[in-house]
Structure 1
Amino acid sequence: MTTEAVLRRRAIVAIIAAVTAMSMSLSLTIPLVSLKLELRGIGSDVIGIMGALPALSFLLASPFIPALTRIFGTGKILWASLGLCCLSIVGLGIWDNLAFWFLLRLLIGLAMAVLFLVSETWLNQVAEEKKRGRTVAIYISSMTCGFAIGPVLVNLLGAEGNFPFFVSAAIISTAGFFFLYTRGNYPNLSGHSGFSIFTFMKMAPMICAAALLVAFFDGSILTLLPVYGVKNGLTPEISVLMASVLLAGNILLQFPIGWIADRTSREVMILVCGLLGLAGTLSLPFLINIPLLLWPMLIFWGGAVVGTYTLALVLMGQQFKGAELITANAAVGVLWGLGSLIGPASAGVAMKVYEPHGMPLTFAVICAIFVLVTFQQVRNKLKLAVIAENRE
């Protein structure tokens, strides 16, 4: 194995391990903060605003990340963000002033936005083209595992005292060991991109639509699915299990999706995932009380929807490099923040207006828009391929 191949493998292992630790820490901190505020008698409106800060952070931080990496370098940005995140989480455990908590949560979100977006760009830069689908799929599955473990740790550690915050800080600090494992071979993202964040949204509508779709899915479906189950007569335990099964689909199906995408048209594969996502959404009201069909549907539905984001990252790495790749990732970060803010609010209102099926109906509309955008992009690519073949 060549030195380049060894360094590439080290970077991939380090990125995936670091992002798993980051997602675990974030998913431990978010519900922990909410529980702490609830125990202190803080109103649900304040808790809701606090919960929206991670999405707001992505929205605010993402546009500045390309310039920061260009000015300071990727390594310095990663270490500064990691240090800021660790100190802010420790701060949550030391001080209990509400205004200070708002500031700390915002700082954690800003630091996490930098860590996630730079890591995704880095992964795409070092991934081999022929294995890009599988590499990104492992990354998404590992990150989802981290997000799934966080709430479990809340149950194990409890919400009393400062210790859970210190555990969260310790978990994310392990990302530093994984960064060291790369031996300082951080990605070179210097230079100027040929397009801006907003221009990218016009250039790559399919990638942008996938980011909005999955952010909406994470924010609305995973949040409100247990509520939807209860409103349809299921027990609270079964309703919560629905969200867990959905997450299981996210984890289990990403590698098969990435494997297929490495051997077929990635654009066609993302369209297939979108169609499966739409089918799952439309079938949910009919299958909600048919367990034999509901559980497998949830697995395929969750895996297919998140698969659109996996494939969007793959296409991004395939089409863009260097400074343009970090700009593309920053645009996706803005859209992710936007979708995460809009998703829960719109789906919640829809569920209240059209009870109980407003939530899946809202997501079906978003999914249908994604399918239409993707179909148009695939059709345009096929037309260009036919024209090129005729010229030859």
Structure 2
Amino acid sequence: MSCPDTANTMKDRMPDHVSPSNPRIQFRPTATLTFMGLVFGLVMGLGAPLFTLDLADRGYGASMVAANSMMQALGALGIAPFMPRLATYLGPRRAIFLALMGAGMTLLLFPLGHSIWPWFPLRVLLGAFCEVILVLSESWLNQITDNHARGRVMGLYNTLLFVGIAMGPALLSLTGRQGNLPFFGTAALLLLAATLTQAPWMVVPPPAAPTRHRLWRYLALAPIAITATLLIAMLDAAATSFLALYAIQSGWSERAATLLLSVMLLGATVMQVPIGWIGDRTNRRALQIILALLACGGALLWPLVMHQPVLAYPLMFVWDGAFASLYSVAMAAAGNRYRDGDLIAIYALCSLAWGLGSFTGPAISAAAMQASPHGLALFAATLCGLFALLPLILKKSV
């Protein structure tokens, strides 16, 4: 399969929206792009334990595992500022195609050598390719979706992303870590996704440059969406890292604490589409305030329910469902106002915010837990409460 050539130019320059009167055309690109979210999640969910456990088997400690994991984040952060220019120059379809092919070929290189040192640059490349897939597929999907369905569709995209992350360890347990099957199987899935981007129904808008020349200027245009991304990244990294430990310190067994984390993540997976549906039929600004207040209040209840599992499980399910949906609702609002290069620039800035949040969230939450037995709950409640003020203060922003 080759990249699109000039024969596809007119096809690629079709309008960036699909009329709801033609659901057949609308369904196919939507299904294909949401599949990209599943693929991205699967690569993340499969890669993290695969590399971590392989390094541990070779005798390396936590510091080497952390350093190797940071390479993937470094690749994502490094490519993010160039995302608008990349999308303008190549167009989203060609850029995603090349990124999927590049990620697949990169995975095939991992098992070729016996030394781990090539893994460091390879994980930088993998992080950059995956970031292109994530940002451009999500922004493309946002653009082709009508406003009346945008919340549900973006919620579905993020739901499948979470499903992919959850599927990764499960597939690894089936294939086993020994041998090349995990690498080859994931690479084959990426190549299949690359083939789907070349389908005739995958129409995209013509490349359009951002209206702002400097990426940081979009912070003033979409502060709520960017701050929502920062918030989600900080608390997602903090909760996944420390919620089980917080439960254990509250008297839970290790198995029950791990189950609590799984129930929490299940809430984020299940509730995004229903909340997106509500956002399509109500005021998204008001919905963001309500979700943030629910997340704030829910976090304040953590210390009260940690000694009552019958209440803790449903609370964490609802809490993460409301909390994680803040991102989908915020990006649906941004997609309603901005298009083309501007929307891609906002997504690129959001990816930088995600990287910053992922780095700072665990460190701050660890300090909060040292300061107080319920520091994690207070940290989550404070951030969610402060975020609820943004839509009230910034009434003309998204």
Q: Distance in 2 between matches of 1:321 and 1:3?
A: 21
CA contact (8 A) 1:26 1:147 kept: yes
Q: Distance in 2 between matches of 1:166 and 1:232?
A: 42
Give percent identity, aligned residues only: 29
Equivalent AA in structure 1 for residue 92 of structure 2 = T
In the TM superposition, what is the alpha-carbon distance from 1:182 to its structure 2 partner?
4.8
Alignment partner of 1:230 is 2:248? yes
In the TM superposition, what is the alpha-carbon distance from 1:335 to its structure 2 partner?
0.5
CA contact (8 A) 2:158 2:272 kept: yes
CA contact (8 A) 1:93 1:163 kept: no
In the TM superposition, what is the alpha-carbon distance from 1:338 to its structure 2 partner?
0.9
Q: 1:269 aligns with which of 281, 287, 290?
A: 287
Alignment partner of 1:140 is 2:158? yes
Equivalent AA in structure 2 for residue 354 of structure 1 = A
Change (3 A) 1:174 1:357: farther
Local SS of the residue matching 1:41: coil
Q: 1:65 aligns with which of 83, 101, 106?
A: 83
Aligned to 2:377: 360
Aligned to 1:260: 278
Aligned to 2:320: 302
Structure 2 counterparts to residues 1-16 of structure 1, below 5 A = 5-16=23-34
Q: Gapped runs of 5+ residues in structure 2? A: 1-18
In the TM superposition, what is the alpha-carbon distance from 1:134 to its structure 2 partner?
1.1
CA contact (8 A) 2:89 2:207 kept: no
Number of positions where the alignment pairs a residue of Structure 1 with one of Structure 2: 379
In the TM superposition, what is the alpha-carbon distance from 1:361 to its structure 2 partner?
2.4
In the TM superposition, what is the alpha-carbon distance from 1:225 to its structure 2 partner?
1.4
Alignment partner of 1:293 is 2:327? no
Q: Distance in 1 between matches of 2:158 and 2:20?
A: 27
Aligned to 2:70: 52
Q: Distance in 1 between matches of 2:93 and 2:347?
A: 17
Q: Distance in 1 between matches of 2:114 and 2:211?
A: 43
Local SS of the residue matching 2:148: helix
Alignment partner of 1:201 is 2:219? yes
Change (3 A) 1:203 1:84: same
Q: Which runs of 4+ in 1 moved over 4 A?
A: 1-5
Equivalent AA in structure 2 for residue 348 of structure 1 = A
In the TM superposition, what is the alpha-carbon distance from 1:209 to its structure 2 partner?
1.3
CA contact (8 A) 1:18 1:176 kept: no
Alignment partner of 1:321 is 2:339? yes
Q: Distance in 2 between matches of 1:344 and 1:141?
A: 23
TM-score normalised by the chain length of structure 1: 0.91
Q: Distance in 2 between matches of 1:33 and 1:247?
A: 22
Local SS of the residue matching 2:110: helix
Equivalent AA in structure 2 for residue 56 of structure 1 = L
1:165-216 CA-to-partner distances (Å, cap 9, x unmatched) read 2222223333124323354523433233236321111222211111011111
Q: Distance in 1 between matches of 2:283 and 2:55?
A: 48
In the TM superposition, what is the alpha-carbon distance from 1:59 to its structure 2 partner?
2.0
Aligned to 2:191: 173
Q: Distance in 1 between matches of 2:191 and 2:217?
A: 36
Local SS of the residue matching 1:98: coil
Equivalent AA in structure 2 for residue 337 of structure 1 = G
Change (3 A) 1:117 1:159: same
Q: Distance in 2 between matches of 1:256 and 1:165?
A: 35
Local SS of the residue matching 1:345: helix
Q: Distance in 2 between matches of 1:115 and 1:208?
A: 19
Alignment partner of 1:105 is 2:123? yes
In the TM superposition, what is the alpha-carbon distance from 1:355 to its structure 2 partner?
5.3
What is the Cα-based RMSD across aligned positions, in Å? 2.0
TM-score normalised by the chain length of structure 2: 0.90
Q: Distance in 2 between matches of 1:79 and 1:371?
A: 38
